[in-house]
Amino acid sequence: MTPAGWSPTSWQSRPAAQQPVYPDPAVLQSALAHLSRLPPLVTSWEIENLKRQLAEATRGERFLLQGGDCSESFEDCESSAITKKLKILLQMSLVLVHGGRRRVTRVGRFAGQYAKPRSADTEKHGDTMLPSYRGDMINRAGFSVAERTPDPELLLRAYERSALTINFIRALVDGGFADLHHPEYWELDFVEKSPLAAEYTRMVESIGESLRFMETLAGSTVGEINRVDFYTSHEGLHLPYEQAQTRQVPRRPGWYNLSTHFPWIGDRTRALDGAHVEYFRGIANPIAIKIGPSVTPDAAVALAERLNPAGEPGRLTFIHRFGAKHVERCLPPIIEAVQRRGLPVLWCCDPMHGNTETTSRGIKTRRFDNITFELEASFRLLKAAGSHLGGVHFELTGDDVTECIGGACGLTEADLTKAYRSQLDPRLNYQQAMEMAFLLARLMAQSRG
């Protein structure tokens, strides 16, 4: 049900953080009017299916795997990049299904992850000060007045790129994708170099065996008998864009954001009385909110009550991102406060955003060890509190980049410049992401035991 006092525009009377300033409001209005006439990218029944799956994950019957680029770029909207993004999520999810013995819901940070919060509104080089780059939906990364001026036409380009991406994803999911299931085709060089090599080799073999067994049984490929679903997500940051895609649908109550299945509120825009929380409280989608070290237990409870007053299971996910240094101090009191009120929350660990550091040469990176520490601690602390970790959220890519340090592939600080491609945050590369899946499967199996 739509909450009292809410409408798709009610956020406009609240302070909205992290919004670009457009030189000509009339041009913005015309782009938004155009956007609000264009067809939706996802449907209400897909959204409701995902909400049911997230309710299962909240009860411990399922696991959420969410991942993708920190920010998508228009340039990467091409077939091989999209295929690789699906491939890494699919392969990781198979490892989790087989090793962790839990059904897995796959959600990409894709088909709409084009707007970024920034720590400063402007950037200065020499004597020139320009607006910060805020994602391809808003302006361009190059450092010139033309590139950095927010351009409303980019909202339409982002919508179109999202549509092209989701169209190709739907086509891949429908067929032609089954060979990606087979571990014999995966590139798992790291396995031999890992201290857990024997255990990982056994896991790879058993995934292969059970897939072959299922195919023999069904006489067809797993891709056909067991259609895999992918859902989309992005940070719902640019509120005019989100509003333009907020619709009512026939025979279902409420308003849906039909630009994505599972939008989230970022750690910088989660003010209780701010515009983002106001917008999100009224949409019917399952939603997530990122919480970092500055959130208090009372604030977390207030957000959960504002965003999910009816206590609907699957509606609300907390993506906690405290960092290896703070997770043991920050997470337990929040779990306790949420439990005391009996609020249904899906706990999903983002071990990336609290673990970003800058090297002495000024390169943004993350250490594999800190990422695994935060994950392990989250499993342990939730279990100790009588709850469970129900999902994970990664920044990763299917490409062979060098952005994060560590892992069995042995990436060092000196390697970072070899293939550093991210415009924003550092991502796990293909090998690191697969290794993370094996580690996670192990943690899932242990936390059940």
Q: How far apart are CA 113 and CA 110, in angstroms?
A: 5
Q: Which of 56, 267, 278, 376 binds ligand PEP (CB under 6 A)?
A: 267
Query: In the window 346-365, what residues touch ligand PEP (CB under 6 A)?
Result: 353
Q: Which of residues 385-444 bind Co ion (CB under 5 A)?
A: 425
Residue whose CB is less far from ligand PEP, 100 or 266: 266
3-state secondary structure of 311: coil
Q: Per the structure block, which two tokens stand in for 305? A: 């009550």
Q: Is 266 in the site for ligand PEP (CB under 6 A)?
A: yes
321 binds, among ligand PEP, Co ion, none (CB under 5 to 8 A by kind): ligand PEP
Task: Choose among ligand PEP, Co ion, none what residue 297 binds, the Cβ cut-off being 5 to 8 Å by kind.
Answer: none
Residue 129 contacts residue 123 (beta carbons within 8 Å): yes
Q: Are 244 and 122 in contact (CB under 8 A)?
A: no
Residue 177's φ and ψ, nearest 5 degrees, are -135, -5
Piece of the chain touching Co ion by CB under 5 A; list 27-35, 70-78, 96-104, 261-269: 70-78
Measure the CA–CA gap between 233 and 259, rounded to whole angstroms.
9
107 binds ligand PEP (CB under 6 A): no
Binder among 35, 47, 70, 337 for ligand PEP (CB under 6 A): 70
| Minimal distance, residue 221 CB to ligand PEP, in Å | 35
Where does 101-247 show beta strands of DSSP type E?
A: 103-109, 122-125, 128-131, 230-232, 246-247
Q: Tell me if 172 contacts Co ion by CB under 5 A.
A: no
Could you tell which of ligand PEP, Co ion, none binds residue 266, using a CB distance below 5 to 8 A set by kind? ligand PEP
Report if residue 350 touches Co ion, rule: CB under 5 A: no
CB of 317 to ligand PEP, least distance (A): 13
User: 3-class secondary structure for 357-426?
Assistant: EECCCCCEECEHHHHHHHHHHHHHHHHHCCCCCCEEEEEECCCCCCCCEECCCCECHHHCCCCCCCCCCC
The residues, any chain, with a CB within 8 Å of residue 184's CB and separated by 6 or more, are 208
195 token code pair: 């201290």
* Site membership for ligand PEP, residue 85 (CB under 6 A): no
CB of 69 to Co ion, least distance (A): 8
The nearer residue to ligand PEP, 118 or 383, going by C-beta atoms, is 118
Residue 293 binding ligand PEP, by CB under 6 A: no
Handedness of CA 95, 100, 104, 108 (dihedral sign): negative
SS3 of 66, please?
strand
Contact range with ligand PEP by CB under 6 A, out of 16-24, 73-81, 266-274, 382-390: 266-274
Window of 79-87, 189-197, 211-219, 264-272 that interacts with ligand PEP by CB under 6 A: 264-272
Give the span between the Cα atoms of 264 and 70, in whole angstroms. Answer: 13
Pick out residues in 316-345 that bind ligand PEP (CB under 6 A): 321
**Size, binding site for Co ion by CB under 5 A:** 2
Least spacing, CB of residue 106 vs ligand PEP, in Å: 17
| Residue with Cβ nearer Co ion (376 or 425) | 425
Measured from the CB of residue 348, what is the shortest distance to ligand PEP in angstroms? 11
> CB under 6 A: which stretch of 94-102, 192-200, 216-224, 261-269 binds ligand PEP?
261-269
CA atoms of 258 and 40, how far apart (whole Å): 5
Q: Is 117 among the residues that bind ligand PEP (CB under 6 A)?
A: yes
Q: What Rg value do the Cα atoms of the chain yield, rounded?
A: 21
Please say which residue, 49 or 422, places its beta carbon nearer to ligand PEP: 422
290 interacts with ligand PEP by CB under 6 A: yes
Q: With contact defined as beta carbons under 8 Å apart, do 98 and 206 qualify?
A: yes
- The region that residue 32 occupies, defined by phi over 0 for left and psi between -120 and 50 for alpha, beta otherwise, is alpha
Beta strand residue intervals within 203-272, DSSP E: 230-232, 246-247, 256-257, 264-265
Task: Please choose, from the candidates 444, 430, 342, 429, the residue with its C-alpha nearest in 3D space to the C-alpha of residue 392.
Answer: 444
- Which of 70, 265, 345, 381 is the binder for Co ion (CB under 5 A)? 70
Pick one of ligand PEP, Co ion, none as the site partner of residue 290 (Cβ within 5 to 8 A by kind): ligand PEP
The residue range among 119-127, 205-213, 263-271, 280-288 that interacts with ligand PEP, by the rule CB under 6 A, is 263-271
Residues that bind ligand PEP (CB under 6 A): 70, 117, 266-268, 290, 321, 353, 425
Residues that bind Co ion (CB under 5 A): 70, 425
